[in-house]
Amino acid sequence: MLVFKFGGASVKDAAGVANLANVVKKYAGGPLLIVVSAMGKTTNALEKLTKAYFEQHDSMHILYDEIKQYHYGIMHELFGSEHPVFDEINNTFVEIDWMLEDEPVDTFDFIYDQLVSVGELLSTRIVDAYLSQSGLNSKWLDVRGYIHTDNTYREGVVDWTKTCESIQQDIPAMLSQNIIVTQGFLGGTSENFTTTLGREGSDYTASIFAACLNAKSVTTWKDVPGVLNADPKLFTDTVKFDELSYAEAMEMTYYGATVIHPKTIKPLQNAGIPLLVKPFGDPEAPGTKIGNTSNQSFEKAVIIVKDNQVLLSVSAKDYSFITEKHLSNVYNIFAQNLLKVNVLQTSALSLSACFDFIDERFEKLMGQLQENFNVKYNSNLKLITLRHFEQGLIKQLTEGKKVLLEQTSRNTAQIVFASN
């Protein structure tokens, strides 16, 4: 069996959904499970809505209306004005209507998952209805009954044993009858609340299904020809990798390459399942194959850029040396706030850590750190990570920039600098 994943960009409009159906048709002869993300930038829009709702801001209604209109617009193009899918979508929105009517009482992260998850519920309903309309035998599956997580909202931790049990129990029989269409990014708790697996987590969903079902491969369909050495929106002259090892792909995602979600590779590697990254506009093209290979070459360095970084500098209040005890205290606070450190450097008197700036978590983090430490920070920074680089490239990329931190090892260089 095959697992396909279609990201938001591939279903951002009616033409995208139609293209998805064409791709799927080519593979409809064998068992196929399709994981779909929210359409276009819907997850970002829902994040904004969640914030507005949590703060009871007036913009809430406008934001919500835009999300509705966007989906109805696509549906009108795909289905005309009458189709049973309109009822399903109306019902999905009604649940949000109810939620938004009351003032928020739960934690932000909990509310986030209940609201933001709607993006995938909507997109999969639409895709499933369109595949059926195109003559394909598709079936909509609510993933929340299969991917079981704990209740770490926004970063649900998957219970693999329970998840694989549920999947193996039901899905093979369904796949012998239907193409399954299900939501990426979502999970469910034992109390039937919705969780999300972390931004861009749909790849991970695909990899969980593939691992539990021992799929032949996972294909993630993208708006790029495959895995490139750098983001083509930021760099010209990018090159595509034909093959990459699991290890290299894992390194790349660890450092922030957004082409694949970081948690995706490991389960596939354990099960020996290849991950194909292919262009949705050209389904016959080979793309990139990530798997067991020694056949990878780096004619150009891998360049990974992360924006919106913050660099913290933490020192002891009495200006004493930074000890292991201090380090472990600081790291505990990072972990409690679900922060992932992108670069770390310690000196005698301070610890510097660079991570993604997450507005809702920053104030709490600062408060906790400041109880025991002096903390300084710079925000709005850029982090560039290079792999398989030559020294000249560092110079070229940092020319005229205010570099705040640089760390180089044999294969990897990381540079933090001011964005402008």
In eight-state DSSP terms, residue 147 is S
Tracing tokens 């389960």 back to the chain, one arrives at: 267
Q: Are 311 and 378 in contact (CB under 8 A)?
A: yes
> What sign does the CA torsion over 256, 334, 114, 210 have?
positive
- Subset of 98-157 contacting ligand ASP (CB under 6 A): 119
Among 1, 2, 4, 8, binds ligand ASP (CB under 6 A): 8
Question: Crossing angle, helix 118-133 and helix 42-54, to 10 degrees?
Answer: 150
Q: Which of 1-9, 87-95, 239-247, 273-281 is the region at the interface with Mg ion (rule: CB under 5 A)? A: 1-9
* Residue 414 phi, psi (nearest 5): -130, 130
In contact, 196 and 116? CB cutoff 8 Å: yes
Which CB, 287 or 415, lies closer to ligand ASP? Answer: 287
Minimum Å distance from CB 9 to ligand ASP?
9
Q: How many other C-beta atoms lie within 10 A of the C-beta of residue 136?
A: 17
Among 68, 199, 388, 401, binds ligand ASP (CB under 6 A): 199
Which range, of 72-80, 162-170, 197-205, 314-322, touches ligand ASP by CB under 6 A? Answer: 197-205
User: Smallest gap, in angstroms, from Cβ of residue 155 to ligand ASP?
Assistant: 12
Q: Under the criterion CB under 5 A, does residue 37 sit at the interface with Mg ion?
A: yes
- Dist CA 219 CA 223 (whole Å): 13
Closer residue to Mg ion, CB minimum distance, 199 or 266: 199
Judged by beta carbon distances under 5 to 8 A according to partner kind, the member of ligand ASP, Mg ion, none in contact with residue 183 is none
Q: How far is CA 18 from CA 132, 136, 183, 280, in A?
A: 12, 12, 18, 11
Site for ligand ASP in 22-61 (CB under 6 A): 37-38, 43
Using the rule CB under 6 A, give the single segment among 168-176, 196-204, 306-314, 352-360 that binds ligand ASP.
Answer: 196-204
Given a contact cutoff of 8 angstroms between Cβ atoms, the answer to whether 246 and 268 are in contact is yes
Site string for Mg ion, 42-71 (x = CB under 5 A): -x----------------------------
Nearest distance from C-beta of residue 38 to Mg ion, angstroms: 5
| Cβ burial 147-169 (10 Å sphere, 16+ → b, else e) | bbbeebbbbbebbeeebbebbee
CB 10 within 8 A of CB 16: yes
With contact defined as beta carbons under 8 Å apart, do 164 and 19 qualify?
Answer: no
Does residue number 195 form part of the binding site for ligand ASP (CB under 6 A)? no
Span 308-367, contacts to ligand ASP by CB under 6 A: none
Query: Which range in 193-201, 210-218, 289-297, 317-325 contacts ligand ASP by CB under 6 A?
Result: 193-201
To Mg ion, the closest distance from the beta carbon of 67 in angstroms equals 14
Residue 8 binds to Mg ion (criterion: CB under 5 A)? yes
DSSP states of 212-265? HHT-SEEEEEESSSS-BSS-TTT-SS--B-SEEEHHHHHHHHHTT-TTS-TTSH
| 256 binds ligand ASP, rule: CB under 6 A | no
User: Nearest residue by C-beta to Mg ion?
Assistant: 8
Please report how close the Cβ of residue 169 comes to Mg ion at its closest, in angstroms.
29
Residue pair 201/155 in contact by the 8 Å Cβ criterion: no
Cβ contacts of residue 14 below 8 Å, gap of 6+? 74, 77, 78
The conformation of residue 403, written as its DSSP 8-state character, comes to E
Is residue 7 part of the contact set for ligand ASP (CB under 6 A)? Answer: yes
Nearer to ligand ASP, 203 or 248 (CB): 203
CB of 8 to Mg ion, least distance (A): 3
List contacts with Mg ion (CB under 5 A): 8, 37, 43
Interface positions with ligand ASP (CB under 6 A)? 7-8, 37-38, 43, 119, 184-185, 199-202
